[in-house]
Amino acid sequence: MVPHRASALVLTLLLIAAPALAACSGGSEESAPDLLAHAEHILDETKTAHFVLESSGAPDTGTVLTGGEGDIARPASFQGTLKVRTSGSPLDLKVISVNGTVYAQLPFTTTYSVVDPAQFGFGDPGALLDPDTGISQLLAQAESAKLGGERRVGGEVVREVTARIPGELVEQILTSKDPSKPVEARFSIAPESGELRRAELTGPFYEAGSDATFTVRLSDFGDDVQITAPPTG
């Protein structure tokens, strides 16, 4: 009888412990709003990040931002290359932004000039880590958030969250030709660290009534990045 009683005791203990074990080994139990809030907090706390921007659906007319890659540093700095399409032709612009002043190395030049980034179809990239005007606002003001599945990105498991972002906000941070229309978002968040790894946004970025997609990828949170204003010619 003793062995039977011992087996029953072990079974009872396992049943009691099962929920705790599942919580420890079964991945994140955070809700969609909790995951977004966690990712927003981490992004607002980080001093630097590397970002890659890609797009699809850009028109062949006008001057528009299509992609780019660079480093962002708090409080308001950026250094990298932004890809612009003007009248159907691609253009790579080396860009540095420091404290609200944007510098670009224009075609056929070897020095930087102060520019208005709007003429190239983008805003100040140095503001992307600003808690009030940057990427974290997309997380803070996301609506109708729903948990998606888990997937592996670069060897790391991320959890997806789908949501809608007010068009007026997206116009301020990126661009929109119809701010009255919400933008569909798919965020990929690393549950353990809370770091936002990827944000895929679909909306009328280039033309009203025609959707395009921007994909932002973030990495290297907190790396030592030094950005200074360049000499101008």
pLDDT at position 62: 86
d(CA 12, CA 108): 76
Please name every residue paired with 203 in a beta bridge, in sequence order, or none if there are none.
Answer: 212
pLDDT at position 205: 92
Residue whose entry in the numeric block shows the structure tokens 């607002």: 44
Cis amide bond preceding 125, omega within 30: no
Give the chain's domains with CATH numbers: 30-219 (2.50.20.20)
Do the Cβ atoms of 133 and 173 come closer than 8 Å? yes
Q: Using alpha carbons, select from 48, 228, 224, 220 the residue that is nearest to residue 129.
A: 48
Do the Cβ atoms of 98 and 114 come closer than 8 Å? no
Contacts of 55 (CB under 8 A, 6+ apart): 65, 66, 67, 205, 212, 213, 214, 215
pLDDT at position 23: 37
pLDDT in tens, the chain (233 residues): 444 444 443 333 333 433 433 333 344 478 999 999 999 999 999 999 999 999 999 888 888 999 999 999 999 999 999 999 988 889 999 999 999 999 999 988 999 999 999 888 888 999 999 998 899 999 999 999 999 999 887 788 999 999 999 999 999 888 899 999 999 999 999 998 999 999 999 999 999 999 999 999 999 999 999 999 999 87
